[in-house]
Amino acid sequence: MARFFEVHPENPQQRALDQVVTILRDGGVIAYPTDSGFALGSLFGNHSGADRIRAIRELDERHHMTVVVSEFGQLGRYVDMDNRVFRAIKATTPGPYTFILRATREVPRIMQHPKKRTIGVRVPSHVTTLALLDALGEPLVSSTLIAPGETEAMSDGWQVKEEFDHLLDAVLDSGDVLPEPTTVIDLTGDEPEVTRRGAGDPALFEA
């Protein structure tokens, strides 16, 4: 059964965040609020956590997992960026975008796309997400919480708990989530490719 933590949207209670961090460090998988719907998350490097996230969403290993960090400057540790990509991402972060890039050696193979050796990265703009990342002190590996068979990200914390209670260890809720997933931009080619249209403006990456 998932523990439910409700925090203030502008000043999340540190005690609740610390309890969620303990669950993550113990190998747990959580649902947490972001600027583009709820997401599933586990500690970066938690291989079983990544597998559980894929299972909850009924995804295979070809689905890109996302490394979620609190600051743009942390991205270079996990993905390769040339000057063009660097400028494009910096201009649109933080925000509701996920960028697909080639992974560095810091990213375990099991978390990469099995053939392309790529991974998603994201810098959210959401008070609770950033507070959780700050309390954790390291990234999350994550995926937008879109229930199997649905197209919209889940946005109600109690509904998340009700539907996935037996599959999650915790639900963190701040009551301020919109049900639109991130816009996904593949930056591995010569030109950006919008692979999912969502909360972020895709026009910034379209010719």
Handedness of CA 104, 181, 131, 142 (dihedral sign): negative
Could you give the CA distance from residue 80 to residue 26 in angstroms, rounded to a whole number? 30
Nearest to 168 by CA among 56, 63, 15: 56
Tokens of 138: 């390291």
Which pTM was predicted?
0.94
Can you give the pLDDT of all 207 residues of the chain as single tens digits? 999 999 999 999 999 999 999 999 999 999 999 999 999 999 999 999 999 999 999 998 878 899 999 999 999 999 999 999 999 999 999 999 999 999 999 998 888 888 899 999 999 999 999 999 999 999 999 999 999 989 889 999 999 999 999 999 999 999 999 888 899 999 999 999 999 999 999 988 886
Q: Which residues of 11-35 are buried (b: 16+ CB within 10 A; e: fewer)?
A: ebeeebbebbbebbeeebbbbbbbb
Domains of the chain: 3-205 (3.90.870.10)
